[in-house]
Amino acid sequence: MNLQNLNNIKEKEIKYKLADNWLPKLKELIDEKLRLYSIEFPVKTLDGIKYADLLFEIDKNDSPFKNNMLVLELKKELIGTGVVDQVSRYTHFIKLQLHRKNKVTSIIAGPYFSDWELKKCKDNNILALQYDLKGNMRFLNV
């Protein structure tokens, strides 16, 4: 995968590329009909509001409350430590906040992952999505 230098682009720009231009590729990887629910979704936690980068709904049922969801935390740097806890926290509170009974899946997207964080993703059933600025992406732990 071509992992070009990400220093010249802002993380917010990458969020919008993923939500718009790269969404067909993400749908293909997930093999589901995805609907973008929110960009920078305000998550109400015990210590204030935090913002989940992207929130998707798997659009299968007539009732949204029966649909599974995906929380995607995006980074433009090396995924080092702490991101698993961050996205796990968002997933927990989003499920409560949106009254979801079905699965809410966590995804961490980044250009590079440390071995430690890949292990933490696997141990916690979190998908590790590697991307580049051309819209190429793949799951590293599926």
Give 10-residue mean pLDDT values along the chain (142 residues). 65 90 91 93 96 94 84 91 93 93 93 92 95 93 74
Residue with tokens 């141990």: 123
Q: Return the pLDDT at 6.
A: 64
What is residue 138's three-state secondary structure?
A: strand
Contact 50, 85 (CB under 8 A): no
Q: Return the pLDDT at 4.
A: 54
Strand partners, 29: none
The domain segmentation of the chain, as residue ranges, is 11-139
Q: Return the pLDDT at 62.
A: 78
3-class secondary structure per residue, 38-84: EEEEEEEECCEEEEEEEEEEECCCCCHHHCCEEEEEECCCEECCCHH
Domain covering 11-139 in this structure, CATH number: 3.40.1350.10
Q: Return the pLDDT at 101.
A: 83
Q: Return the pLDDT at 45.
A: 95
Query: pTM for the whole thing?
Result: 0.89
Exposure letters 6-45 (e unless 16+ CB within 10 A, then b): beeeeeeebbebbbeebbeebeeebebebeebebebebee
Residue with tokens 């070009």: 4
Segment 39-65, tens digit of pLDDT: 999 999 999 999 999 999 998 877 778
